[in-house]
Amino acid sequence: MAHKPIVLDAPIPEPRALDAEALQAEILEKLTYSVGKDPIVARPHDWLKATILAVRDRIIDQWMESSRQTWRTSNKRVYYLSLEFLIGRLMRDAMSNLGLMESVRDALTSFDVDLGDLINLEPDAALGNGGLGRLAACFLESMSSIDIPAYGYGIRYAHGLFRQEMSEGWQVELPEDWLAHGNPWEFERRESTYEVGFGGHVEPVQEPDGSTRLEWRPSEHVLAVAFDTPIVGWRGKRVNTLRLWSAQPVDPILLDKFNSGDHIGALAESSKAEAITRVLYPADSTAAGQELRLRQEFFFSSASLQDIVRRHMQQYGDLGSLSDKVAIQLNDTHPAISIAELMRILIDIHGMKWADAWKLTKGTFGYTNHTLLPEALETWPVALLERMLPRQMQIIYAINAEVLQEAREGAGFTDEQIANVSLIDEHGSRRVRMGQLAFVGSHSINGVSALHTELMKQTVFADLNSLYPERINNKTNGVTQRRWLMQCNPGLTKLISDRIGPEFLDDFSALAKLDKHADDPEFQKQFAAAKRVNKERLAQVIRDRVGVVVSPDAMFDVHIKRIHEYKRQLLNIIETVAQYSAMRSHPERKWAPRVKIFAGKAAPSYWNAKLIIKMITDVAKVINNDPAVRGLLKVVFLPNYNVSLAETIIPAADLSEQISTAGMEASGTGNMKFMANGALTIGTLDGANVEMLEQVGSDNMVIFGLTAEEVADKRARSEVPLNAIESSPMLKEALEAIATGVFSPDDPDRYRDLIGGLYDHDWFMVARDFDAFAAAQRKVDALWNDPQKWYAMAIRNTAHVSWFSSDRTIRQYAEEIWGVPVTGA
């Protein structure tokens, strides 16, 4: 569209003013001709859509040029396969990376529309659960920012995980409806539609030369339809693509059934297909749930591989160069079936010999392991795979035979070692180990923190590491500073820029210059003032959402994560109960005022996690209404934790709780986000906490508790936790209060079994780490009561966070795993 001409004898406007003027016209055009609304009657959601469409238009040209450039240069492409992409709201991210934030704000102001209100109105894309999905989103943004040609592949969930609401303190799961009014960021690509098969049988087919090949004849097909979202890098230099697959039926309605009166049955195939992409992580406690999960994983893996192979053949004409031009990264075990599916495509469809196909497959795939927890290292019943994916199961058997022969004849493995490396778990009902499949089918297997990587070598993959000793490597996770500092904390970003200059915006390592200002009293006051603005905003959110009034002058002590026993929200709330008791017994002590802020979702079938949420809300009800604590302690559980809520909580946090059982958190990324925003960490030597300690120093973190080795030793010796409880009067009193119904008078036995588990086995070391945790919290109190010391530590945390940028992580992947040149900032 034509921009308003500049009058030559008038003062030439600043670039921002020019851009605001152009955007004003563009937003108005979108509102009128795309949304179909007169600005006089337009509602906020109309302005939101119009603004997104106007910003999106600024992205399209560079998106297309990024794709053209990759085709022209024949550069290697990276494909990131992940069942989750927790991308959050995209408008602010895109505006910030394009440098349009203030211009859009000015343009909307001319219409008497507030940009902040529109940003808050945009729905969160419900495409993930927690750290796994958020990491994938950070990685995609970093790949765009450092100019790596990349696609993200995932599922376009209609409802995502779930929307968490609270009913009398209990978690209630409701469907997330982020797509109810469409998604203005996405483009449907009808030409990129693929058939994905399930079931059926495998038939030998005679070739003209007399040889025999195997052909899979599925009994069921669904269509995978692509929807593309542009992912903008910093300064808009490159725009990559997030391609999400939506499952649709081949025949949307069976007309013969409909016309015969079976109106519901006529839609059965449609419902069955659409169920694949309806919900993230359907409960797998039933056979039907397990089958649906496997369908999801194969559906998006097969569609993605068909798309990758089609694109490669279109550009290069043959598959011999696949591993030279394509790098596929598996984000955890969910897409591990891709190993067998790519082998099927190469051998059955493109006629490749087994040895050549296996070499290409291993050269193409990399596998990122995110957990040592058995339930997350997926396994599937052999019978289910044989029924649902018969050809892929044949290939898995053949891969296994090759691996076991290599282990026996080449490495001289014992029977026990053979059983450990086998892709088939023969203990009890036979199951396929997807972690093992991903390992043997990839040239690189990486952990996500130094500790996690070493534990991989020693535990779950010990024998595979012995068989293939060069494959395991470490790539410590990172987060994108654009979203998790610059966008969510503009006040702190401006303060840093004013003090050390804007160089850190493009070269994040320049943030280290902030260290020399950590002891400056004036800068500490400015840093505290920026923090207080964020705390006031969060205090208002807490009041609006849960009706609890909290003081921004108190320490905001934050524990926001997926609810799981190993993440030890239980330890935190038990210590809160002990602190509450001590505050009532000793009101004369100088207690640091605290607001304990919890948020996170529990898996629908994880009863203990849901019970922990209920315990937090029960404890909150008692403490928040007890005048004896004089408002010095408040407890808050904020429902429906998502990316947008995290972007409000993290900049306001004073203390970051990273207290997982040592050896069980692969890395964590929340810890890095809190660090960037000037929160102190109280934590165990687990995951990336270890590397944070190396970067910022022991004087600037509060570390406590058992090490991973000590945890393993206590578990191996089946040590009874009773001694730890009996020797700690404070712990014993808190456990008795909880177990006897002090905080649940309506159901005194509600927590008896949960607390009983601490006496019986204490698998997650809650009781045995309690005294160390309580002592660490008292150290935190002392630090809070010394503001000069506190803010010096807080500033140093921010100053030393640059190593935890996902840009650094992606550079390491590119150079050490993918073999992709890095040319970006």
CA distances from 166 to 177, 489, 546, 637 (A): 17, 29, 10, 10
What is the distance between the alpha carbons of residues 649 and 556, in angstroms, rounded to a whole number? 9
Q: What is the mean pLDDT of residues 620-642?
A: 97
Asked if residue 738 lies in contact with residue 751, where contact means CB atoms within 8 angstroms, the answer is: yes
Token pair 């955890």 is found at: 332
Dist CA 149 CA 254 (whole Å): 42
At 814 the pLDDT is 98
482 against 264, higher pLDDT = 482
Token pair in block for residue 618: 């029960």
**Mean pLDDT across the stretch 220-236?**
97
Q: Kindly tell me if the per-residue pLDDT of 516 is higher than 60.
A: yes
Is the model's pLDDT at 719 over the cut of 90? no
Active site residues: 370, 561-562, 567, 669, 673
For residue 302, CA distances in Å to 271, 280, 343, 395, 520 come to 20, 18, 11, 15, 57
CA 812 to each of CA 290, 456, 809: distance values in angstroms, whole numbers, following the listed order:
35, 19, 5
* Residue spans of alpha helices (H) in 638-721: 643-649, 670-676, 689-696, 708-716
| Contact in structure between 566 and 527 (CB atoms under 8 Å) | no
Burial class (CB in 10 A: 0-12, 13-18, 19+), 128: buried
Question: pLDDT grade, residue 15 (50/70/90)?
Answer: low
Mean pLDDT of the chain: 94
pLDDT in tens, 674-689: 999 999 999 999 999 9
Question: How many whole angstroms separate alpha carbon 710 and alpha carbon 714?
Answer: 6
Q: Strand (E) positions, 156-310?
A: 163-167, 170-174, 187-198, 201-206, 212-217, 220-232, 239-249
The DSSP 8-state label assigned to residue 474 in this structure reads E
Q: How far apart are alpha carbons 47 and 43 in whole angstroms? A: 7
Single-letter code of the amino acid located at 272: K
Does residue 286 have a pLDDT over 50? yes
Q: What is the DSSP string of 73-114?
A: HT--EEEEE-S----B--HHHHHHHHT-HHHHHHHHHTTT--
- Distances in Å between the alpha carbon of 344 and those of 91, 199, 201, 358? 40, 15, 14, 10
Angle of helix 91-98 versus helix 131-145 axis, rounded to 10 = 20
What distance in Å separates the CA atoms of residue 783 and residue 791, rounded to the nearest whole number? 9
For the chain, the residue count is: 825
Q: Which of 350, 363, 296, 343 is nearest to 318 (CA)?
A: 350
Q: Please tell me the distance from the alpha carbon of residue 389 to that of residue 340, in angstroms, as a whole number.
A: 10
Cα-flanking dihedrals φ and ψ of residue 455, to 5°? -65, -35
Residue 55: partners with Cβ closer than 8 Å, 6 or more residues away:
91, 94, 95, 98, 100, 104
- Among 14-23, 61-70, 429-438, 750-759, whose mean pLDDT is lowest? 14-23
- Report how far residue 716's alpha carbon sits from residue 663's, in angstroms, rounded to the nearest whole number: 14
Question: Strand pairing of 555-560 and 655-658?
Answer: parallel
Residue 103: per-residue pLDDT: 95
Residue 211, number of CB atoms within 10 A of its CB: 9
Q: Are 638 and 597 in contact (CB under 8 A)?
A: yes
Give SS3 for 457: helix
- DSSP H helix total and E strand total for the chain: 33, 22
Residue 16 has pLDDT above 90, yes or no: no
For residue 92, which phi and psi values (nearest 5 degrees)? -65, -40
654 touches 557 (CB < 8 A)? yes
Phi-psi region of 343 (alpha: psi -120 to 50; beta: other; left: phi over 0): alpha
pLDDT band at 306 (very low <50, low <70, confident <90, very high): very high
Does the pLDDT value for residue 258 go beyond 90?
no
Tokens of 164: 């968490």
* Segment (H or E) for 367: strand 365-368
pLDDT in tens, 589-625: 999 999 999 999 999 999 999 999 999 999 999 999 9
CB-CB contact of 682 with 777 (8 Å): yes
pLDDT in tens, 525-549: 999 999 999 999 999 999 999 999 9
Residue 120 clears pLDDT 50, i.e. is over it: yes
The pLDDT-based confidence of 3 (bands split at 50, 70, 90) is very low
Residue 815 DSSP code = I
* Phi/psi at 227 (5° precision): -125, 125
Task: Using the predicted structure, report yes or no on whether residue 378 has a pLDDT greater than 50.
Answer: yes
d(CA 126, CA 252): 25
pLDDT at 7 over 60: no
SS3 letters across 161-190: CCEEEEECCEEEEECCCCCCCCCCCCEEEE
In the structure encoding, which two tokens stand for residue 96, read together? Answer: 């910030």
- Nearest Cα to 555, choosing from 593, 528, 583? 593
Given a cut of 80, whether residue 824 has pLDDT beyond it is: no
**Of 427, 392, 422, nearest to 407 (Cα)?**
422
CA atoms within a 13 Å half-sphere pointing along the CA-CB vector of 566: 16
At 140-160, the pLDDT tens digits run: 999 999 999 999 999 999 998
**Does residue 765 have a pLDDT over 60?**
yes
d(CA 229, CA 566): 35
Would you say 295 and 388 are in contact if contact means Cβ atoms under 8 Å apart? Answer: yes
Q: What is the mean pLDDT of residues 800-812?
A: 98
Count of CA atoms in the C-beta half-sphere (13 A) of 560 = 33
Strand arrangement of the beta sheet that strand 379-381 belongs to: 379-381, 431-433, 424-425
Span 486-514, average pLDDT: 97
How many whole angstroms separate alpha carbon 90 and alpha carbon 798?
25
Q: What is the pTM of this model?
A: 0.95
pLDDT at 160: 85
203-224 mean pLDDT: 92
Instruction: List Cβ neighbours of 458 (8 Å cut-off, separation of 6 or more).
Output: none
Task: Tell me the residue type at 30.
Answer: K
- pLDDT class for 281, splitting at 50, 70, 90? confident
318, with CB counted inside 10 A (0-12, 13-18, 19+), is exposed
pLDDT in tens, 166-204: 999 999 999 999 999 999 999 999 999 999 999 999 999
Which has the closest alpha carbon to 771: 818, 723, 809, 811? Answer: 723
Residue 18: predicted pLDDT:
60
- Report the percentage of the chain scoring pLDDT > 70: 97
HSE at residue 58, side-chain half, CA atoms within 13 A, is 25
* Residues 192, 304: Cα–Cα separation, whole Å: 10
Q: Looking up tokens 């030597």, which residue turns up?
A: 685
Q: Is pLDDT of 11 > 50?
A: no
